């Protein structure tokens, strides 16, 4: 199911459909095995992050964004184009990473290219391709392979100007390693955003991300708003590392919370979940405050709790406390007094032991027992 995102500010009347290429498990869509990583890199690891960054930038510039494949599953191409057509998107942008084979030594192909449908370079798709391609060529040094006209489904079946970008080759060693580089992902997203803004004659103002700008959080988001969510969940008893990364554990905690509060467990922190979480936190805070107040009211500070009675009597006999207000909270001033009393008692105990040792030694000497020297 496609996901429509709306900017927090005013809408500029433009809707951009974004497609993150293939799913995480799509056969063949991955790099050759990389020994340094101990694994392959899946194309979607790059595509989805670029689309995520790009969506945030476009939302910051007043665009509405339609994610035609918002999950990691391989959404059928017809679902993607049908969603874009149904929502009357103004443009369609599909982000990919190219490949010639499953072997780093198969070819020397590398670089970037922008694709439109057959004979469409002379139309608005070509205008969009040139705008985005202009900025793609200004980033990390890569071969520019040019503009291509192809009979791809997402270019053929869309009712609006559409482009597909290939941002490197998975079977080129250098470009394959760029796929996991977050700076490169953000750079590619920024280049796409600049081109899209230029196409629509919208001033590009840069980007200052808060993933909540789109109104919700999903797996893959990062930042302070994710940390805030993790802290809130931890207050309700979940055990999450507050690292600002919306990973599988955070997504799982959100799904668990949703299930416990009769919400659809989709693992996304959307408006309904936000409202339910805030309500749960208010209830939790209210109960916690009430219990604390009741504890203060119900406790008689002049009575010793049964579990502490023996220790309290012994501590009183030893002079650490004066025997009054056993249930009262202890201040730092009172703590300093207790510490000093402990010290005095300890020194007194040492003195008594020394006197007892001297007495025993004298008794042994009087009895004619020779005491060996150390």
The per-residue pLDDT for range 326-336, each reduced to its tens digit, is 878 888 877 88
Q: What's the pTM?
A: 0.60
The answer to whether 59 touches 209, Cβ cutoff 8 Å, is: no
* Least confident span in 34-38, 115-119, 121-125: 34-38
337 vs 289: which has the higher pLDDT? 337
Pairing of strands 162-169, 112-116: antiparallel
pLDDT band at 299; cut points 50, 70, 90: low
Which percentage of the chain shows pLDDT scores above 90?
Answer: 39
Identify the pLDDT of residue 350: 81
Mean pLDDT, rounded, for 73-77: 86
* Least confident span in 2-6, 17-21, 164-168, 308-312: 308-312
pLDDT band at 274; cut points 50, 70, 90: very high
100 vs 4: which has the higher pLDDT? 4
Mean pLDDT, rounded, for 208-217: 73
pLDDT band at 348; cut points 50, 70, 90: confident
State how far the Cα of 247 lies from the Cα of 244, in Å rounded to an integer: 9
State how far the Cα of 347 lies from the Cα of 286, in Å rounded to an integer: 49
The correct CATH number of 3-209 out of 3.40.630.40, 3.80.10.10, 3.40.50.720, 3.40.50.1820 is: 3.40.630.40
28 vs 100: which has the higher pLDDT? 100
- Domain(s) labelled CATH 1.10.101.10 in the chain stretch across 224-298
Residues in the chain: 374
Identify the pLDDT of residue 269: 92
Burial 268-307 (b: 16+ CB within 10 A, else e): bbbeebbebbeebeeeeeeeeeeeeeeeeeeeeeeebeee
Average pLDDT value for the chain: 85
User: Is the per-residue pLDDT at 39 higher than 90?
Assistant: no
What is the 3 state secondary structure string of the chain? CCEEECCCCCCCCCEEEEECCCCCCCCCCECCCECCCCECCEHHHHHHHHHHHHHHHHHHCCCEEEECCCCCCCCCHHHHHHHHHHCCCCEEEEEEEECCCCCCCCCCCCCEEEEECCCCCCCHHHHHHHHHHHHHCCCCCCCEEEEEECCCHHHHCCCCCEEEEEEEECCCHHHHHHCCCHHHHHHHHHHHHHHHHHHHCCCCCCCCCCHHHHCCECCCCECHHHHHHHHHHHHCCCCCCCCCECCHHHHHHHHHHHHHCCCCCCCCECHHHHHHHHHHHHHHHHHHHHHHHHHHHHCCCCCCCHHHHHHHHHHHHCCCCCCCCCCCCCCHHHHHHHHHHHHHHHHHHHHHHHHHHHHHHHHHHHCCCCCCCC
Identify the pLDDT of residue 41: 82
pLDDT band at 128; cut points 50, 70, 90: very high
User: Is the per-residue pLDDT at 357 higher than 90?
Assistant: no
The answer to whether 111 touches 169, Cβ cutoff 8 Å, is: yes
- Domain(s) labelled CATH 3.40.630.40 in the chain stretch across 3-209
Contacts of 7 (CB under 8 A, 6+ apart): 59, 60, 61, 62, 63, 64, 213, 214
**Tokens encoding 75:** 């959404």
Q: Name residue 114's beta-bridge partners.
A: 147, 165
Q: For residue 169, which of 191, 143, 133 has the smallest C-alpha distance?
A: 143
Mean pLDDT, rounded, for 254-279: 91
User: Is the per-residue pLDDT at 291 higher than 60?
Assistant: no
**Tokens encoding 268:** 């996304």
The answer to whether 99 touches 36, Cβ cutoff 8 Å, is: no
State how far the Cα of 34 lies from the Cα of 38, in Å rounded to an integer: 6
The dotted CATH code for 224-298 is 1.10.101.10
User: Is the per-residue pLDDT at 65 higher than 70?
Assistant: yes
**Strand order from edge to edge, sheet including 15-19:** 3-5, 64-67, 15-19, 91-98, 162-169, 112-116, 144-149
Indicate the burial class of 19 (C-beta count within 10 angstroms; 0-12, 13-18, 19 or more).
Answer: buried
Mean pLDDT, rounded, for 281-305: 69
Identify the pLDDT of residue 358: 79
Identify the pLDDT of residue 290: 60
User: Is the per-residue pLDDT at 209 higher than 70?
Assistant: no
Q: For residue 1, which of 211, 369, 264 has the smallest C-alpha distance?
A: 264
Identify the pLDDT of residue 373: 65
Among 144-153, 199-208, 364-373, which range has the highest average pLDDT? Answer: 144-153
pLDDT band at 204; cut points 50, 70, 90: very high
Identify the pLDDT of residue 255: 93
Among 1-15, 157-171, 289-303, which range has the highest average pLDDT? Answer: 157-171
- Other beta carbons within 10 Å of 56: 25
Identify the pLDDT of residue 202: 95
The alpha carbon torsion through 257, 261, 264, 267 (nearest 10 deg) reads: -10
Mean pLDDT, rounded, for 182-207: 93
HSE at residue 352, side-chain half, CA atoms within 13 A, is 6
pLDDT band at 175; cut points 50, 70, 90: confident
* Least confident span in 145-159, 214-228, 339-353: 339-353
């Amino acid at each position: 199911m496609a996901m429509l995102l709306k900017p927090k500010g005013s809408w500029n009347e433009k809707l951009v459909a974004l497609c993150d290429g293939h799913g995480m498990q799509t056969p063949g869509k991955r790099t050759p095995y990389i020994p340094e990583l101990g694994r392959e890199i899946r194309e979607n690891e790059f595509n989805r992050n670029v689309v995520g960054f790009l969506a945030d930038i476009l939302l910051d510039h007043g665009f509405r964004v339609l994610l035609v494949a918002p999950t990691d599953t391989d959404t059928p191409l017809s679902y993607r184009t049908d969603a874009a057509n149904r929502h009357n998107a103004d443009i369609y942008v599909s982000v990919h990473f190219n490949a010639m084979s499953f072997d780093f030594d198969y070819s020397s192909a590398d670089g970037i290219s922008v694709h439109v449908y057959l004979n469409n370079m002379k139309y608005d798709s070509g205008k969009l391709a040139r705008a985005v391609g202009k900025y793609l060529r200004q980033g990390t040094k890569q071969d520019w392979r040019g503009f291509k006209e192809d009979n791809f489904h997402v270019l053929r079946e869309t009712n609006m100007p559409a482009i597909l970008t290939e941002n490197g080759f998975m079977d080129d060693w250098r470009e394959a390693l760029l796929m996991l580089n977050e700076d490169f992902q953000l750079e590619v997203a920024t280049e796409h955003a600049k081109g899209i803004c230029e196409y629509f004659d919208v001033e590009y103002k840069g980007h200052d991300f808060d993933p909540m700008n789109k109104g919700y959080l999903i797996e893959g988001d990062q930042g302070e708003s994710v940390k805030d969510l993790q802290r809130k969940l931890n207050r309700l008893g979940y055990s999450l590392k507050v690292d600002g990364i919306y990973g599988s554990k955070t997504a799982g905690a959100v799904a668990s919370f949703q299930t416990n509060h009769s919400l659809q467990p989709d693992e996304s922190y959307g408006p309904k979940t936000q409202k339910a979480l805030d309500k749960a936190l208010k209830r939790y805070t209210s109960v916690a405050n009430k219990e604390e107040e009741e504890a203060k009211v119900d406790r008689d500070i002049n009575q010793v709790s049964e579990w502490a009675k023996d220790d309290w009597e012994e501590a009183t006999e030893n002079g650490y406390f004066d025997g009054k207000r056993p249930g009262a909270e202890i201040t730092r001033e009172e703590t300093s007094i207790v510490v000093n009393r402990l010290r005095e008692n300890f020194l007194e105990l040492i003195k008594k032991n020394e006197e007892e040792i001297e007495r025993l030694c004298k008794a042994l000497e009087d009895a004619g027992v020779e005491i060996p020297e150390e």
